[in-house]
Amino acid sequence: MAQRVRPIRSIRFLTAVLAGVLVTPFLFDQPHSDQDHNERHVVATAAALVPTATKLPRTGWTATATTGTAAAVLDGNPATVWETAAAGPLPQSITIDTRRTQPVSGLVYAPRTTGGTGVLGQYEIRLSLDGTTWGAPVAAGTAADDATAKAFSFAVTGTRFVRLTALTEAGNRAPRVAAAEVDLLGDPGAPVPMTPLARTGWTAAASDQETLRENGAAANVLDGNAATHWHSRYAVITPLPHSITLDLKQPTAVGGLLYRPRASGANGRIGEYRVAVSTDGTAFTDVSSGAWPDTAAVQDARFSQVATARYVRLTALTEAGNRGPWTSAAEINLLGPLPGTQLPLSRAGWTATSAALVDNDPATHWRTTGSGLSFTVDLQREQPLSSVVVTPRGDSAEGRLGAFSVAVSTDGTTFGPAAATGTWATDATPKAIALTGTPTARYVRVSTTQTVAAAAEFHAYGPPAQPIAVGPLNRDGWVATASDQETAAEDGRAANVLDGSDATIWHSRWSGTAAPLPHWITLDMRAPQTVAGLQVRPRGDSGNGNIGQYRIELSADGVTFGAPVATGTWPDGSAVRTVRFPEAQARYVRLTALTEAGNRGPWSSAAEIDVLAASAAPDASVTGLWGATVGFPIVPVASALLPNNKLLTWSAYAADNFGGSNGYTQTAIMDLTTGQVTQRRIDNTGHDMFCPGISMLADGRVLVAGGSDAKKASIYNPTTDTWSASGELNTARGYQSQTTLSTGEAFTVGGSWSGGEGGKVGEVYSPAGNSWRTLSGVRPEPFLTVDPQGVYRADNHTWLFAVGGGRVFHAGPSRRMNWVSTTGTGSVTDAGLRGDSADAMNGNAVMYDVGKILTVGGAPAYQNADATARAYTVDITTGSPVVQRVGDMAYPRAFANSVVLPNGTVVVIGGQAYPVPFSDQTAVLTPELWNPVTGTFTRLAPMAVPRTYHSVANLLPDGRVFSGGGGLCGTCATNHPDGQILTPPYLLNPDGTPKPRPTITSAPTTAANGAAVTIGTDRAVTGFALMRVGSTTHTVDTDQRRIPLTPIPLSPTSHQITIPTDPGVALPGSYLLFALDADGVPSTAKEIRIGQ
């Protein structure tokens, strides 16, 4: 079997949605029989899949391990293996040294080709810059017990060392593990555009320098002359290491370093190196390490992240040729982000002179020889272009572009004058250049006068659709000082600009002899902050002192201020003044008033001053936090929450693929308490449970019906941890929806993906008789969307909500809604349109309050159609649905999941702006939280891994949310056998620490409808919520619903709640009972069974 590599995408600019629309070449079959339904399940061709992270070239890498022959994992030969000692014990680890800091987004582990003993089970992955200091795990989980390669994804991180630790052997056959090959995945996103920084005014100092026998002063690395160099002291031998520190004179964003060896000889070429940065020249933080070859070519060091620093230190640990304890350098340059904020343009569908330029694979490249050399890229549509980046080939310096020009065209024939020209250094870092005038073009041509030219990748960038949002930083503890202030004739102290009152002001000294202009006021934020603007509120009582011409400067120490980050002139008036400037880090922000706006006198004043941040540390109480990626041995395509803090998941007959009617299913159960994931293949029910309907039955069992084996049904009993066959469906079906009824039965309808197309009438499962009853009066036609693929897609994934009397409300995804009766042969009654909504296939709906439903997203077709960002509420409490459109989401989504939280908010996770199965193109990594009070959405912290087609999400007993899966397409690039857990904002303080939360000290484990029950808590609470336990597949979770309960206080810690009498409100089954305090912080839930 081919390797199952599961690379990931990463969206660098978190507020951006990829703008490209993916046009995917699909092959559709003609009408088909039951036997070919899985072949009709559409899979994108290789060309249509999203550009993904590819394996990094392993040239020069080394491997070490706690035991065994580690080098075998890097030799390219699957017949050789690293294997730990037979007698154990575990854990054991293997560490990869990539020899340079570079972006990494995942690890691919290949077991020995025969599988068996030694397959990795539970694992952890950690990263390090120096091989000594290791961070917390960036990924952890349990791998599948088979011989296929497994890819473990994590957020893109700059690192040099990657350590894989084996905690268990997958089959518990022996206390040892083995690996045939280990690969690392690179950054699937576009590089940050970087350019050499201007070195004007910089100074250099070294640990030592040779000045007796030659001019080897440190300052030579900044003189622009390759013939001069810095050399460590050798008249009196000074041992390695040697260091040289550049003082940039002000905080500066820096992302890389270029090192030019001396031109006059080889002595002192740097081998092993380390780069560190500092804001004060005393405390340094490592940002890069590596080993340069013994060559005269320019070398580069990429940083683990863009850092804001004043000082950059390069330390030479070894001499590249081992010629002596020497170090030298002709020139040192630093790279910083290209000025301005650019967004990478989606490369979906792009073509180029060579496909290698847009294939996202650094191991391939375009190369040509001759004269008048160039390559052209077709962006497929006209769009504004602010800059381009050309990534040089990495395997050789041959052909790397030096002198270049960039021209653009709208038709591919007529190219205008050069939009950019210049000469790039011939190191391996991606080369960026800004285009003059931000031209709008479809074609980009890069030309050179060289006779040999080569390049690995091409990216283009455009201006953001809207400015990145900014907001004021918290001013607690800040101090304001001024050049002068009026304290004799009024309270005009500088401190007044931080007191939160518009009625108090800072005023320059005006009594006696007025202090002349200019006047300045400086805010000390007490710690370095990333800042992006200033907001000034003028005094409101009169105009005296309103600032006209101004200047804004930043400082790290309050003494040395850099060049102005903003200048300008404000008009005379009382409106708030806002100034934006490029992000920079500083502790001190100084506003200098050069003139008075109305020329009334030599005065300056301000009521309030705020400092704005575009990317300040996120407020976790607003955005929430994601945990580390948790690996699964399968792609979790379906999930159901179990008692005792466990999560059941399954895929299909294979861990990473579907197809056919195979009669067995791969499952995995995650213990949420320990994090351990165990895999099991279920054979005894004869049921491939891919794409089924799922219901959480009244007694806590899980009913799984239809799917790949379209007439089969299976039941999982969490009490006995066993699967058993259920009565077969009367109508074969797959991709249907299913819901538990108020009667304790289960209803299903639709499902033409499997078992033939059309005629999928409703039927009801009776637990008492273990059989299905056909509802001939519940025809599928009222539920259909108008899908271009016909009923095959049109009857999929209905949004079903059980109500009283065994009835069901159908909320979508078709634009028409319906009431369903399951009495007798059943019936369907039209409930009207869902407002102005179009069909919203692969959107979803959740009951966030009693009889109140939120619907979000979806598209007019199952795939290959633009998704919507619209959201609606549907109130069915009066019997006649009332539809209201609420605030739109920030991102259009289909294939997303929605989970209602105990406080009534709804989190929407994942999805695509343009739904395409088995593609992560246009994936949305930023979840959103809907507030039922305001009807609006708030963006949450972004995920590390896309969650699109075949992903799931579930509320957990501790109030967090599990999100996982996506893919299940065999050897495709978008399988995601992993998950992450979101800690929602209501559990967190702004700094990310947990909020205090109430505890339920006593509660019954069962309760009847209408029963009054007593609940004990450890503190006062204001409310309770019953959350029905959920099950999810294909974005549909008909089981979840929230029932808020207002308690009657018996004492400060004892409360009486009444379970709703109507079983159509509190459906029979398993619930999570949460207590909520006055701030809406929930307890960890207690499990309670309601009704039957």
**Catalytic positions, written as ranges:** 949
Task: Return d(Cα 675, Cα 627) in angstroms, integer.
Answer: 12
Task: Return d(Cα 636, Cα 676) in angstroms, integer.
Answer: 15
Residue owning tokens 């075949």: 950
Q: In this structure, are strands 629-631 and 638-642 parallel, antiparallel, or unpaired? A: unpaired
Which amino acid, one-letter code, is at 347? Answer: R
| Nearest CA among 959, 1000, 964 for reference residue 983 | 959
Token pair in block for residue 15: 């507020």
| C-alpha atoms less than 13 angstroms from C-alpha of 795 in its C-beta half-sphere | 27
Which amino acid, one-letter code, is at 108? Answer: V
Q: In this structure, are strands 122-128 and 150-166 parallel, antiparallel, or unpaired? A: antiparallel
Displacement of CA 953 from its chain's centroid (Å): 15
Task: Return d(Cα 627, Cα 943) in angstroms, integer.
Answer: 9
Token pair in block for residue 30: 């003609």
| Nearest CA among 942, 941, 900 for reference residue 923 | 942
Order of all β-strands in the sheet with 713-717: 693-696, 702-705, 713-717, 722-725
Dihedral sign for Cα atoms in the order 583, 585, 589, 595: negative
Token pair in block for residue 453: 């030219």
Token pair in block for residue 666: 């791969």
> Can you spell out the DSSP letters for 995-1014?
PP---EEE--SEE-TT-EEE
Answer for the pair 152, 975: CB distance below 8 angstroms, yes or no.
no
Token pair in block for residue 1016: 């004990």
Q: In this structure, are strands 1006-1007 and 1086-1090 parallel, antiparallel, or unpaired? A: parallel
First CA to last CA across the chain, in angstroms?
48
Dihedral sign for Cα atoms in the order 824, 825, 826, 830: negative
| Nearest CA among 696, 673, 526, 620 for reference residue 1038 | 696
Helix (H) or strand (E) holding 623: helix 620-623
Buried b or exposed e, range 157-177, using 16+ CB within 10 angstroms: bbbbbbbbbbbbbbeeeebbb
Q: How far is CA 573 from CA 491, 542, 565, in A?
A: 22, 9, 23
